[in-house]
Amino acid sequence: MTQFTDLGLSKPLLAALAAKNYTTPTPIQAKAIPPVLAGKDLLGIAQTGTGKTAAFMLPSLDRLVAASKGRLVPGRARMLVLAPTRELAAQIAESARTYAKGQPLSVGVIFGGVPVPRSLREVSRGLDVLVATPGRLLDLVDQRALDLSALEILVLDEADQMLDLGFIHALKRIVKLIPAKRQTLFFSATMPKLIKQLADSYLTSPVEVSVTPVATTAERVEQHVTFVNQAEKVALLTIFFQNTKIERALVFSRTKHGADKIVRFLEAGGIASSAIHGNKSQANRERALAQFRSGEVPILVATDIAARGIDIPGVSHVINFDLPDVPEQYVHRIGRTARAGASGIAIAYCSDDERGNLRDIEKLTRQKLLPAPLPTGFNAAVEAMKALKPAPRRAPQPQQRNKRNESGARGHSRDPQRFGLPRNDPRSDMPEERNGPREGGRSMRGVPGAARGPVGNPIRSGGQPGSAQPQQRHGGQRPGGGNGGGGRPNGGQRRRGGGGQRRAG
């Protein structure tokens, strides 16, 4: 049997693999590592969970060390790995750091969902290996913070998933930014016609490596299907988790809203779970994955965008709550279980309008899913679920608009109506001490019953409306200065020179 020591890898890499107790390569690793070490382009077709990351990362690190030119150039990367999701990008970067331990190689990762300045700092010093999602990569290129003109190695991982997520135009743009003379490694779990065309545009005389037939499901996965009404799927899922011992279970929903709804109903039934999808912040996604990985929350509800990014051993069950519209996605979903030689169980819930999706899946995989009957007491469980009241999607926020404030007027504290003024009154932006006279150190504005001047201003004690009291303010004027000038000396005239013209400089 082939060992890592037979593949021509350097001693530091072999030491890093030995530290992780990796001695025997997977089929994709045994076939891919020698041609990559030789500097050839590679087209790899393999399912998720077969060890593709080590297949391209191990030989690439050896080539980077051998071709090292010393100091890195700020804002440049020597090797670029493109991944479709944040989770997958983070996991590839973590694996690269593990394999590169003890070697003079720097590894960075950038993706959306984190502050842009953090990504800018990541690439500013220059990197040997950069792992990125296409969107954030192009953001930094547009800001001229990243230069790809000196790239030596390009890796596209899960290329079919990138196309499913709409990255085709981003990929076409990226290939124009990198040098034509480079080594390109192209990996995909499936190879439809569009993927083949994309691979041809990236690769030059590639070595093709395929370890499984296109779109076949992983071995050692026991697959079942249960036919159930769409509205009763949550009850079926709740009964399953209440009566089945699981290590970790991954539940796939077609939509983000559906994933959140599943979590709310499970929690109402006393079952701990969390959701991960594109609307969640990066912090929430990382927290949910950490809790799932540690077993603190053994049930994770996800959308297909996370199907390729979860590489967690010990997933015993995969539940297809909704059957995917694209049959290839079924292969990726159930590839989350039965990893590293373990066995797993995949269960599909199929409603009447999803039977066509089921036929497409069985046609693609050339396998019949074994029917599983509804559990005993299912109807009673459905009625019980109807009585449950899951938590609302978002806690109700207190109503702030049109709320009366302390002065009795509606609006916020800076609202002119707070002072009894019309909203467009020009005095509304004046400091409060100049917005009206005070009585006993307190503004009289907004005080019910306060005497008002001609324009609605309060009057100081002793004044009467309409009287010519010198203390009265109206029209925004200052109190009189004794010579009819509106409180200004010299008749209130501004100092000007030459008939009202400003004094010459």
Domain 4-210, classified CATH 3.40.50.300, yes or no:
yes
Domain 4-210 identical in fold to domain 221-387: yes
Helix/strand/coil for 483: coil
pLDDT digit string (tens) for 354-398? 999 999 999 988 889 999 999 988 888 888 877 776 766 654 444
Residue from 12, 13, 46 nearest 31 by CA:
46
> How far apart are alpha carbons 196 and 214 in whole angstroms?
12
Q: Which residue has the tokens 């077709």?
A: 45
The domain locations on the chain are: 4-210, 221-387
Position 288 pLDDT exceeds 80: yes
- CATH code of the domain made up of 221-387: 3.40.50.300
Cβ proximity of 22 and 57 under 8 Å: no
Closest alpha carbon to 314 in 253, 251, 259, 246: 246
Residue bearing the bigger pLDDT, 53 or 453: 53
Instruction: Tell me what the pLDDT averaged over the chain comes to.
Output: 80
What does the radius of gyration of the chain's CA atoms come to, in whole angstroms? 34
The answer to whether the Cα torsion of 157, 163, 167, 168 is positive or negative is: positive
Residue the block writes with tokens 């979860």: 310
Answer whether residue 478 shows pLDDT above 90. Answer: no
At 81, is the pLDDT very low, low, confident or very high (cuts 50, 70, 90)?
very high
Q: At residue 3, what are phi and psi to the nearest 5 degrees?
A: -115, 160
Say whether pLDDT at 215 is over 90. no
Stretch among 206-215, 268-277, 368-377 having the lowest mean pLDDT = 206-215
pLDDT digits (tens, 9 = 90+) for 222-233: 999 999 999 999
Structure tokens, 429: 């932006």
The tens digit of pLDDT for each residue in 424-449 reads 444 434 443 444 444 444 445 555 55
Mean pLDDT value of segment 52-61: 94
